[in-house]
Amino acid sequence: MEHYRVNTSSVRSSFGPLKTSLVCLAAGVVLTGCAGMAPVEQYAVSRSAVNAAVSAGGTEFAAVEMKSAQDKLKDAEIALHGKHYEAARRLAEQAEWDARVAERKAQAAKARRAVEDGRQGVQDLREEGLRAAS
């Protein structure tokens, strides 16, 4: 019987590039699978952001941003139904950010209005006090 010794270090090193290739291939498959999935979660987040902006008064105080958000959300829905998932995801993200800007602008405008109303109320009280003192 002949016995052969196998140098295991050379065998291990020959599998190194193969192992690396398999890991890269698996990562590619995972990333491709993610890119091919419908971005329904992002679409739902965007729709929620648009609804919140409308509730905050975005259509009154940030009409341009609201129109942009609503148009992009509509385009995202069309892309979603057409299975153009990357475009749908990108449009939904843009719609979300436009809606968030609109919501913040509406909140800021309401806060300014409240401050102005408060100042006017203080001014009215001062004038009333001066009339009562005379």
Backbone torsion region of residue 3, taken as left when φ is above 0, otherwise alpha when ψ lies between -120 and 50, otherwise beta: beta
Mean pLDDT of the chain: 83
- Please tell me the pTM assigned to this model: 0.66
CATH number belonging to domain 38-133: 1.20.1270.390
Q: Which residues have a Cβ under 8 Å from the Cβ of 121 and sit 6 or more positions away?
A: none
The conformation of residue 37, written as its DSSP 8-state character, comes to S
Please, which pLDDT band fits residue 134 given cuts at 50, 70 and 90?
Answer: confident
Q: With DSSP H G I counted as helix, E B as strand and the rest as coil, what are the percentages for the chain, rounded to 5?
A: 85, 0, 15
pLDDT tens, 49-81?
999 999 999 999 999 999 999 999 999 999 999
Closest CA to 65 of 49, 86, 87: 49
Give the domain ranges of the chain: 38-133
**Structure-token pair, residue 87:** 């475009």
